[in-house]
Structure 1
Amino acid sequence: MNLAPGLRSQLLIVVKSEDTAREVGSGDVPVLATPRLLAIAEMATVQALRPHLAPGETSVGNRAELQHLAPSPIGTHVEFTTELTESDGKRLVFTFEARDRRRVVGRGTIERVVVDRAAFIERATR
């Protein structure tokens, strides 16, 4: 795989009750949970890569760094943007930013590795 940096993706969500720290167990407040922030950012990277993978390939996350900068209560629209910033063979690094209508609520990096899906599952279940 030889993807050039600059590949982008956007994903828009509305924070729901099931996205909150209270519901996922990462806190007791009704705002977007940090683990959900990361999971949604990862979904955006998967979305960006999907059309570029060969049949039988998938990508797996292997490193993430994030800053959760502001709370997003239930009903908040949050837009996630990702951009491929590094491509080293099967190793891909994305930056992401999550914004509500007023400010950046989170940012970070996500590293993914392209793998053969069947071989990965076989190794995982041994």
Structure 2
Amino acid sequence: MGQTLESGATYELRAKVDDTRTAASLADIGEVLPPVFGTPFMIADMERACAALLRPLLPEGWVSVGAKIEVSHLAPTPVGGEVTATAQFTAQEGPLYWFDVWAEDASGRIGKGRIARAIVDQKALLDKAEGRA
């Protein structure tokens, strides 16, 4: 991994909220949850933004994986709204790459936090996941 990531580098990911990305779409039968942007989808968008920043650093056969997530969901976004998830690289601490993350919609900030990702050998990861390591 000869390339490095500059502190402050950012990536934005924009996505519409539809019926498949709501709290209601995650509800167990019998629960009534509102048709607003679901927290797991916000976190996933933030993770994808972090991963996009790391992608140019990846040697062939390596991937980035989530390691730590510290995120707060602050406000709802209704179906039809657009959400922008932003990741900003802040530091590398050993194997972890840390990012400040936030999400915004037309009304302002709806989420914020920090995410750490690690760069790992894809084959070793798959072997471990499949019980071969």
TM-score category of the 2 structures, normalised to the smaller one: over 0.9
**Structure 1, gaps ≥5 residues long:** none
- Offset at 1:25? 2.5
Of 1, 9, 12, 2:11 maps to 9
TM-score by length of 1: 0.92
Matched, 1:29 2:34: yes
> In the alignment, what sits opposite 2:107?
102
SS at match of 1:45: helix
1:34 deviates by 0.8
Picking from 41, 63, 71, the partner of 1:58 is 63
Q: Following TM superposition, by how much is the alpha carbon of 1:105 offset from its aligned partner in structure 2, in angstroms?
A: 0.5
Residues 1:90 and 2:72 are matched in the alignment: no
Answer whether contact 1:4 1:87 (CA < 8 A) is retained: no
- Report the secondary structure of 2:88's partner residue: strand
Contact 1:5/1:87, CA 8 A, preserved across alignment:
no
- Counterpart of 1:75, as a letter, is G
Q: Report the counterpart of residue 116 of structure 2 in structure 1.
A: 111
Contact 1:21 1:31 in 2 (8 A): yes
Q: CA deviation at 1:7?
A: 2.2
Cα pair 2:5 2:54 within 8 Å, conserved: no
8 Å Cα contact 2:42/2:85 also seen in 1? no
Q: Compare CA radii of gyration and give the structure with the larger one.
A: 2
Question: TM-score if structure 2 supplies the norm length?
Answer: 0.88
Aligned to 2:125: 120
